Structure 1
Amino acid sequence: MNIFHLVKKIIIIFFSLIATILLVGILFESWSRAKAEKIIPNGQFAEVDHCRIHYLKKGTGGPTVVFESALCPEGHLQWYLIQQELSSYATTISYDRAGILWSERGENPKTGEQIAEELHLLLEKSNAPKPYILTGHSMGGMLIRFFVDKYPQDVAGVVLVDSQHPENQKYLSPELYKLVNQGLPVGFLKFANTFGLARLMFRDIFPPSAHYQYQNAIMPALLHKSAAGVLEEQQQMTSIKYAASQIKSFGNIPLYVVSATDTSRFDSLFKEEKMRAEIVTAWENMQKNLLSLSSNSQHYLVAGSSHYITLDQPGGIVGAIKEMIFQFRRKQPLTGNR
């Protein structure tokens, strides 16, 4: 056998192996999606602009705590344990934005204003007691701005959990800004989602403990639905950030800014010490600036937490929201006979 035929045989074997792996991946993904269709949603659905939006409502009494998730495929699951705890004190609602988990994509554009309108209609249809305490993490904190701007009369308070700042370019060097805003690799994730790799990559996005067993089962199972929604939101991030930056004030609506303080939380993302130091300082300054959104704001620093305070120190979030609930109720006039 000459060298030409040997190379030709190796190439044929190699591509045959790749084709087999891809075929197995497609079959695995098809089987996984069929299995996921049998999962019963844990909440309810509301018809919002000809689109079914999934939400989880727990607890009773007002004000209603409303959770807005980050740019992530977890949807309402990001708040699952926090919602369980807070539902003992008030009505709570978490939901999946259009195209995430059990929510249909619909036809509305992915703009901050449109997302706020959809959430407002969802809350109306769910009969959630007004007013609302809006709680958002990361990108969810930016999205809250649109709701407050459009429906201030329905807002009792705002809790921003390590929220993104829409004008982060002002706080970062050009090099760091480019790295921070490069986003998810769209082409690779679409490929991975087609061939079953994505659900394997994201199967342990929550901690591998009994507390997160449900979330770790549901999120990967429905990832094929969520992936497209997340990537679409990422593509609209620049326009969302610009529009959010135009909303400068919440007036005197109570605002709690809950911020992570672990200075090592960026070590795995940046190799250079200079960049790690820069992002820590910039993030601290951005969090402080968020306080200027309201003339009635407070800063809660959560020790030992990364950006994902919802996983690292959920008690810090629960404590802040409970304080806002009690603060609101203390200000309400007494009713009934004396």
Structure 2
Amino acid sequence: MKNFIKWSKRIGLGLITLIVLLLLVGFVFERISRNDAEKINPDGSFAEVGDHRLHYFKKGNGGPTVVFETALDPGGHLQWYNIQQELPTSYTSFSYDRAGILWSDRGHNPKSGEEIAGELHLLLEKANVPKPYILVGHSFGGTLVRFFVNKYPEDVAGVILVDSQCPNDKKYLSPKLFKMVNQGLPEGFLKFANNFGLVRLVFKNMFPKNKQYQHQNAIMPALLYKSAEAVFEEQDQMRSIKKEASKIHSFGSIPLYVLTAEDQKRYDSFIKDGKLKSEMINAWTKMQKDFLILSTNSKQILVPNSGHYLNQEQPKVIENAINDMIKEIIAPQ
């Protein structure tokens, strides 16, 4: 028994030593990686927005301007990078990194829907892109778009919601499912892990591992250490942002396209219970259809072979929707 206890203590001490050593190696590796990341040249340009700079990526020079708003995502403008390469340069496409994401400074403004919309509006003014704007919002970005439309309706020519989050999803979901889908990332652990390079493993599959996304897969992991902090902060404010967004009920007659993913297997890795999965699919279908009420000039585009990230799985559908809306807007002129 004494020998067993002695060897147990030795094994335990050895494991602790190994863990400490691995954490130390991870800490050193993370600091070297962050130093190297600071040397990467930005994709686009910067503009001063209050007390900080925001990074944006612009293509084309004509009007109107298509403005992309990203999901709760450390990839920032990179989620739209490939789509922007395919859009005509006869009009302008504009993506950006929200405060704290990728190359954008965090600044001191709170992470509220109102402030994010205000920062984007000022950024567009500083970047001198042509008005009016067509807003394209994916997931959480679709919720943020509501604040922009509500605050600056005279500058908005159209809205495209890409499998958008529903800010008042609580009324569509059972308590159990609502809790499951709104639990968020394990922030405490991930903030700790971010110091040792472990967060890179959590987000390593943000983009497909093929040549088409070579650029994104080189940039996003390198700058993830700072982007992750901003994502955690946005997640902290998610409840209040959704609460305020749910009070915005109308875009008036501004043209609205609702792009909805319909792959029936898109929740397989997230929800194992068949009954809950069926409830989620039906609820999401109802939420997406109800978005049409936001505008008196709206239509829904169903995308049967895509999961939530349409911008990666079915980018052509988004490109076509943008081009169609451009034609709809300029036709009367």
Equivalent residues of 1:75, 1:100 under 8 A apart? yes
How far is 1:7 from its partner?
2.4
Aligned to 1:54: 55
Listed one character per residue, the Cα deviations across residues 270-297 of structure 1 (whole Å, up to 9, x for unaligned) are 1111111100000000000001000000
Deviations 1:206-228 (A, max 9, x none): 01111100001100000001011
Verify the 8 A CA contact 2:62 2:89 in the aligned structure 1.
no
Q: Secondary structure of the equivalent of 1:269?
A: coil
CA distance in 1, matches of 2:202, 2:179: 25
- 1:111-140 per-residue CA deviation (whole Å, 9 max, x = no partner) reads 000000000000000001000000000000
Deviation at 1:329?
Answer: 1.3
Q: Which whole-Å deviations, capped at 9, do the CAs of 1:5-25 have from their partners, x for residues lacking one?
A: 322222221111111000000
**Which residue identity does 1:57 align to in structure 2?**
K
Q: CA RMSD in A?
A: 1.0
Matched, 1:104 2:105: yes
1:87 deviation in Å?
4.2
User: 1:253 corresponds to which letter in structure 2?
Assistant: I
Is the contact between residue 63 and residue 91 of structure 1 (CA under 8 Å) also seen in structure 2? Answer: yes
Q: How does 1:171-320 map to 2 (within 5 A)?
A: 171-320=172-321
TM superposition shift of 1:147? 0.4
TM-score (ref. length: structure 2): 0.98
Q: Which amino acid aligns with 2:18?
A: L
Contact 1:25-1:195 at 8 Å conserved across structures: yes
Map 1:85-104 onto structure 2 (within 5 A). Answer: 85-104=86-105
* Alpha carbons 1:71, 1:138 under 8 Å: kept: yes
Q: Which runs of 5+ in 2 are unaligned?
A: none
Count of aligned positions: 332
| Aligned pairs for 1:142-153 within 5 A | 142-153=143-154
Q: Percent identity?
A: 61
Superposition map of 1:121-132 within 5 A: 121-132=122-133
Report the secondary structure of 1:2's partner residue. Answer: helix
Matches within 5 A, 1:152-171: 152-171=153-172
Q: Distance in 2 between matches of 1:4 and 1:240?
A: 54
Runs of 4+ residues deviating >4 angstroms:
none
Structure 1 unaligned blocks of 5 or more: 333-338
Q: Distance in 1 between matches of 2:18 and 2:282?
A: 49
Match of 1:335 in 2: none
Amino acid at match of 2:5: F
CA distance in 2, matches of 1:39, 1:299: 40
Contact 1:203 1:219 in 2 (8 A): no
Distance 1:79 1:184 in 2: 23
* AA matched with 1:169: K
